[in-house]
């Protein structure tokens, strides 16, 4: 009740107390969103992000970094950082997910391939920026391994009820650290971490890569350029056709001729497995501890991604480890 009173006070101070408010679909975070409709029909988004649980300052910082560098992040109109209340630009309802699923009709001159080309062009632009100007923490191997251990902690041990020995757990860590050590072939960039169809908006009235509106970037870090490629093309919530994935690889690498396509493909497979094992763990946690079992319906697609990435020869040690602990999930 106290937080609700603070929310009302914030809206009142911004002359929005009596404006129409439409609750928007909530994601897996602690953030809540409402569309505010003013009397003149103008809309904006109200973000309720409890500062004890959400990175409010970093959200603002990354939004400003992206906008300052000619990328389409929402403009921060007003912010109460102490309480975690923000009024931000409204990008509308045309998310990649809704457009590509048919919930919203695409224009006749727009298709899936064009939309993914623009998403890749956005990454190309982002990855050409000096990462040190973003003032973000490093996505180092220890952090990546820690995230992947959610697979053991929540998928294997909580969801499946199995126990992993200390020796098997240590073997997993050693294998993953070795694999990550093989990926240090490209310069670090700003990594948005959740760069996928649910968090991308199609902004019809903008040009070039600015047609891609970027949401959900408060967890951005400095790391490998491969990570957001995996996030985009190995989407947990929708299938990206293999022909489009191949074209997007070529489009990205064409902009960075100094990157070896062979080394990039190896890094992609390694980070693909790392990210997808983490996602399996995160979804298991949401299903068990948060009682949201809808995430379990997404797991078969994530396992398909894992199996595809495990085809790379470098990943044989991890494939053998997974064969020992989750043999029913491996289709190779």
| C-alpha torsion 71→76→80→84, nearest 10 | -50
Sign, CA dihedral 198-203-209-213, equals: negative
Number of Cβ atoms within 10 Å of the Cβ of 179: 23
User: Are residues 69 and 156 both part of a single domain?
Assistant: no
Phi-psi region of 239 (alpha: psi -120 to 50; beta: other; left: phi over 0): beta
Measured CA to CA, the distance from residue 222 to residue 126 in angstroms comes to 12
Number of domains forming the structure of the chain: 2
pLDDT tens-place string over residues 63-118? 999 999 999 999 999 999 999 999 999 999 999 999 999 999 988 889 999 999 99
Q: What is the percent of the chain where pLDDT is above 70?
A: 99
Residue at 125 is within a domain: yes
Q: Measure Cα distances from 168 to 149, 150, 159, 325 in Å.
A: 12, 14, 18, 9
Please check the confidence at residue 18 and state whether its pLDDT lies above 90. Answer: no
pLDDT at 134: 80
User: Are residues 248 and 133 both part of a single domain?
Assistant: yes
User: Are residues 303 and 206 both part of a single domain?
Assistant: yes
Residue at 27 is within a domain: yes
Residue at 97 is within a domain: no
| C-alpha torsion 217→219→224→227, nearest 10 | -70
* Mean pLDDT within 115-139: 94
Q: How confident is the model at residue 1 (pLDDT cuts 50, 70, 90)?
A: low
pLDDT at 194: 95
- Least Cα distance to 45 among 89, 95, 11, 76 occurs for 89
Measured CA to CA, the distance from residue 80 to residue 56 in angstroms comes to 9
Residue at 99 is within a domain: no
Q: How confident is the model at residue 187 (pLDDT cuts 50, 70, 90)?
A: confident
pLDDT at 177: 97
- Least Cα distance to 286 among 299, 278, 295 occurs for 295
Q: How confident is the model at residue 184 (pLDDT cuts 50, 70, 90)?
A: confident
Measured CA to CA, the distance from residue 136 to residue 291 in angstroms comes to 33
Residue at 98 is within a domain: no
User: Are residues 80 and 209 both part of a single domain?
Assistant: no
User: Are residues 33 and 167 both part of a single domain?
Assistant: no
Q: What is the CATH number of the domain that holds 316?
A: 3.90.1200.10
Choose one of 88, 121, 150: the last residue of a domain: 88
Number of H-type helices and E-type strands within the chain:
12, 9
Mean residue pLDDT of the chain comes to: 94
Measured CA to CA, the distance from residue 153 to residue 163 in angstroms comes to 9
Please check the confidence at residue 239 and state whether its pLDDT lies above 70. Answer: yes
User: Are residues 276 and 230 both part of a single domain?
Assistant: yes
Q: What is the percent of the chain where pLDDT is above 90?
A: 87
> Quick one: the chain helix, strand, coil %, rounded to 5?
50, 10, 35
Q: Measure Cα distances from 211 to 82, 195, 204, 232, 233 in Å.
A: 32, 15, 6, 16, 18
**257: domain range?**
111-329
Number of Cβ atoms within 10 Å of the Cβ of 273: 27
Strand arrangement, sheet containing 32-37: 20-23, 32-37, 43-48, 85-88, 76-80
């Amino acid at each position: 009740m106290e937080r609700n009173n603070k929310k009302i006070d914030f809206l009142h101070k911004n002359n929005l107390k009596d404006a129409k408010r439409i609750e928007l679909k909530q994601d897996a975070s602690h953030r809540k969103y409402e569309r505010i409709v003013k009397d003149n029909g103008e809309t904006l988004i109200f973000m309720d992000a409890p500062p004890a649980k959400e990175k409010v300052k970093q959200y603002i910082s990354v939004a400003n970094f992206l906008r300052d560098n000619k990328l389409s992040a929402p403009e921060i109109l007003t912010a109460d950082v102490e309480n975690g209340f923000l009024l931000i630009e409204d990008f509308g309802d045309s998310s990649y997910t809704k457009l590509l699923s048919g919930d919203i009709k695409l224009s006749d001159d727009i298709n899936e391939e064009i939309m993914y080309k623009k998403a890749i062009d956005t990454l190309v632009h982002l990855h050409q920026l000096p990462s040190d100007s973003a003032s973000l923490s490093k996505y180092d191997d220890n952090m990546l391994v820690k995230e992947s251990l959610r697979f053991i902690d929540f998928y294997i041990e909580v969801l499946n009820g199995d126990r992993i020995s200390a020796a098997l757990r240590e073997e997993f860590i050693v294998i993953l650290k070795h694999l990550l050590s093989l990926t240090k072939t490209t310069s670090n960039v700003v990594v948005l971490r959740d760069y996928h169809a649910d968090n991308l908006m199609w902004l019809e009235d903008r040009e070039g890569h600015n047609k891609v509106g970027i949401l959900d970037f408060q967890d951005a870090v400095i790391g490998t350029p491969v990570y957001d490629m995996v996030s985009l093309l190995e989407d947990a919530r929708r299938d990206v056709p293999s022909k489009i994935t191949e074209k997007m690889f070529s489009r990205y690498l064409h902009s960075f001729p100094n990157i070896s396509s062979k080394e990039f493909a190896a890094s992609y497979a390694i980070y693909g497995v790392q990210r997808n094992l983490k996602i399996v763990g995160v979804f298991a946690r949401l299903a068990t501890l948060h009682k949201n079992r809808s995430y379990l319906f997404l797991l078969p697609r994530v396992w398909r991604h894992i199996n595809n990435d495990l085809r790379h020869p470098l990943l044989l040690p991890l494939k053998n480890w997974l064969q020992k602990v989750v043999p029913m999930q491996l289709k190779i």
